[in-house]
Structure 1
Amino acid sequence: MSKVSAWSIAAALCLMAAGPAVAYQQEAPANADVVAAAPSPRAIIRDARAIAQPRGVEELREVEIGGIKQWISIRGRDRRNPVLLFIHGGPASAEMPASWLYQSPWEDYFTVVQWDQRGAGKTAATNDPALVTPTITIEQMTADGEELVAMLRETFGKDKIFVLGHSWGTVIGLGIAQRRPEWLHAYIGMGQVINGQENERIGYAFAQGEARRRNDAQAQAELAAIAPYPAADGAVTFEQILAQRKWVIGYGGLTWGRSDFTYEQNARLLSPEYTDEDLAADQYVGASLVQLLPGLTRLDFGDVTRLDCPIFLFNGRHDYATPSSISAAWLETVSAPQKQVFWFEHSAHMMQFEQPGKVFMHLVRDIRPIAERAGDVAPEDEPGVGE
């Protein structure tokens, strides 16, 4: 494989390192007939999460974006609340199927939109990959995001919405913030990507340091074998990336205190929005990566020194998939109407799973007030429709 800058395939390699989700088996219980008649786990979760409020919204919708059918879920207990668009990572690692683990509290304060990008999840399962794969570029996917923001503003009658990008999704999200700041209450970057070469250098140094500290001879040998990493021009081979990511993930640089990613992969098996066919669309991750790599190797937001909308960073203290020190230093150079870094001391790259309560707290306490000041929230003490 040709030489590439490795940060761009971090999330997909995380999935590869985690391996497939485990299918658990057990002996049939004595009351097997009763159990067989019980609702499926997906149906139970779907029913438990049902939004019954009269002004609520709970939709799983196919929409046309960028000339293809793409899927979004829209959930909130009062459609008058501000809209928050979550742009998932990967590339092609849809957030929708595991978001049920943490998202429900958000829905009291936001109308939350999960979007399966082209080449990912339900969108991948719906379209012909032979036609869509050639269109997977940074420019097209940023344009898709821009189009979706415009659609959501019109659908909900909003002048502005919130955009939250995670990992690869921060590339799209920051692009939207640059292009359409007047459409955003604020942009939130979670695991923000800034500079690919520095990303690899710091992640490699972390893995080396942990290997020495733990006296892990196998890790030390495998990491030494890929030196220098990255090369002077920032390039690395695919095999080098695999070796580096293996140990970054294994030492908790993706999820602090965990050596793999199976907890998220297994949660997808219970997704109330997904079918088995949708889950099988993970096979298209590789195609998305191949298409995006040429642009991602050149990507560097270091020269972005001004944003015309508020920006917040959610940074995991132990994140070595997209090392937080890079984005924190970058934000110091940025001029914006409002900016702040929120540190997650017990998280790496997956703080929505690692510290979900703290993510929720910052969204409501520190970020939603921007919409409150603009009058873009539901009245808190107003009786519900029909009460």
Structure 2
Amino acid sequence: MKRFKKALKIFAYLLSGLFIMLFGLVIVLWLKSPGTTDPIVDANGKDMPNSIASIEKVTLGDLEQTLIIRGADRTKPVMLFLHGGPGSPEFIFLRNTNSAIENDFVMVYWEQRGAGKSYSAEIPVESMNLNQFISDTKELSELLAKRFGKDKIHIMGHSWGSLLGILTAHQYPELFYTYFGIGQVCHQYKGERISTEWAKEQAVKHKDKDAIEALGALRFPDSLAGSEAWMDYLPIERKYVMQFGGGVTREMKGMWPLVMMLLEAKEYTFGDKMNYLKASMFSTKHLWPEVINTNLFREIDSMQVPVYIFQGIHDYQTPYALAKDFYDQLKAPQKAFYTFENSAHSPLMEESERFNSIVKEKAVESE
């Protein structure tokens, strides 16, 4: 009995210690989560007088949504950035990998309907569709042009954002100087087949028995499959695409680095951070069937704005070869396709210096 009481006492101490430690971690995370953004400063740490650094609310399609706006000079060209996912805002990742782009543009990082700081459990599920997102993008583009005194703005989309961006620019070319697509989505159903076969080949090449077994057990969803089938499929397939260097970045083999960036981001409140994954799952669940079933080869053969596509040669989330095929058949007043030899899905983060140089050059040419 004495031994039992002693063991129970030790267990109680350990449990109390664990609780105190977890409570401490929550407090630290809370303190790191004020929901504000730092001012833009010069080399001496002084605020740049014509800069802009703000977190703002805007109503789009009758729903309040969040913008993070940052730029060293508010008179510079305005760039609306459309994040990937669906439902995965990228501001925090760009701030860690490519904040320099804010020197050349007023960067508007829009946290889309149902994502990140724009997530709410009250969002009508019926509003989570591609047409509504295109409408939101149009409305926001008009607001930004008016606010910053511009005739037009530039639009940049990454991954899911590239699908949303090119469709919006196609429907409303009068709003945009240029369209920049990164990790271009064009026929994602076909892309997923390419991605899966590549992952299987890599598993065999690396003699990875776990990967061979896991990928071999997957049943590729048919073209009419609903969200549930894809939500079961994608986490496993993406795990190995990332492991073999074809995912978010070529070097990133797991999601932990992104999680750490999220936890450190002061622009997000504690609640924002807790909701980030939930919002991503919510958005993917409702939007993924449209992503899969949209085929730009059939829907877009020409654009009325300049089109510039940036693709990592190691990208197997939105496969390089498929994006190049789409680009080759596309007509536009000006167009160019840029291959990034050391990148997977995110050349704007992996080779940011070259990426920024090209974007700045093409933006200046178009204005």
Normalising by structure 2, report the TM-score: 0.83
- 8 A Cα contact 1:74 1:113, kept in partner: yes
How big is the shift at 1:314?
Answer: 0.9
How big is the shift at 1:42?
Answer: 6.9
Cα gap change, 1:278/1:323 in structure 2, threshold over 3 Å: closer, same or farther? same
Match of 2:94 in 1: 99
- Residue 234 of structure 2 aligns to a residue in which SS? helix
Match of 2:82 in 1: 87
AA aligned opposite 1:77: A
Matched, 1:337 2:330: no
Distance 1:111 1:244 in 2: 36
Distance 1:212 1:165 in 2: 34
Distance 2:352 2:215 in 1: 33
Matched, 1:369 2:364: yes
Distance 2:253 2:92 in 1: 22
- Residue 124 of structure 2 aligns to a residue in which SS? helix
Question: Which of 234, 243, 267 in structure 1 is aligned with 2:236?
Answer: 243
Gaps of 5+ in 1: 1-24, 29-35, 375-387
How big is the shift at 1:310?
Answer: 0.3
Question: Which of 301, 309, 318 in structure 1 is aligned with 2:305?
Answer: 309
User: 1:168-197: per-residue Cα shift (whole Å, max 9, x none)?
Assistant: 111210111111112111101111111122
Match of 2:8 in 1: none
Match of 1:289 in 2: 284
- Residue 131 of structure 2 aligns to a residue in which SS? helix
How big is the shift at 1:47?
Answer: 4.6
Cα gap change, 1:295/1:42 in structure 2, threshold over 3 Å: closer, same or farther? closer
Deviating 4+ runs (over 6 angstroms): 40-43
Gaps of 5+ in 2: 1-20
- 8 A Cα contact 1:59 1:75, kept in partner: yes
Match of 1:298 in 2: 293
- 8 A Cα contact 2:33 2:269, kept in partner: no
Matched, 1:260 2:264: no
Matched, 1:221 2:213: yes
Cα gap change, 1:319/1:278 in structure 2, threshold over 3 Å: closer, same or farther? same
AA aligned opposite 1:133: V
User: 1:339-381: per-residue Cα shift (whole Å, max 9, x none)?
Assistant: 111111111112232222222222223x22224xx3xxxxxxx
Match of 1:108 in 2: 103
Distance 2:320 2:32 in 1: 36
Distance 2:57 2:67 in 1: 6
Distance 1:73 1:224 in 2: 42
Question: Which of 178, 189, 202 in structure 2 is aligned with 1:210?
Answer: 202
Normalising by structure 1, report the TM-score: 0.79
Question: Which of 347, 351, 355 in structure 2 is aligned with 1:351?
Answer: 347
- 8 A Cα contact 1:133 1:287, kept in partner: no
How big is the shift at 1:230?
Answer: 5.7
Match of 1:272 in 2: 266
Identity of aligned residues (%): 30
Question: Which of 171, 178, 190 in structure 1 is aligned with 2:182?
Answer: 190
How big is the shift at 1:319?
Answer: 0.5
User: 1:33-88: per-residue Cα shift (whole Å, max 9, x none)?
Assistant: xxx9xxx7678x95574472222222211111110111101111222211001100
- 8 A Cα contact 1:58 1:75, kept in partner: yes
Match of 2:17 in 1: none
Larger Rg: 2
AA aligned opposite 2:104: Y
- 8 A Cα contact 1:312 1:339, kept in partner: yes
- 8 A Cα contact 2:37 2:55, kept in partner: no
AA aligned opposite 1:251: F
Structure with the bigger percentage of helix = 2
Q: RCO (CA 8 Å, sep 6+): is it higher in 1 or 2?
A: 1
Distance 1:154 1:210 in 2: 50
Q: CA RMSD in A?
A: 2.5
User: 1:299-344: per-residue Cα shift (whole Å, max 9, x none)?
Assistant: 1101211000000111011110111211111111111011111111
User: 1:8-37: per-residue Cα shift (whole Å, max 9, x none)?
Assistant: xxxxxxxxxxxxxxxxx9xx9xxxxxxx9x
Match of 1:75 in 2: 70
Cα gap change, 1:156/1:48 in structure 2, threshold over 3 Å: closer, same or farther? closer
Distance 2:238 2:139 in 1: 34
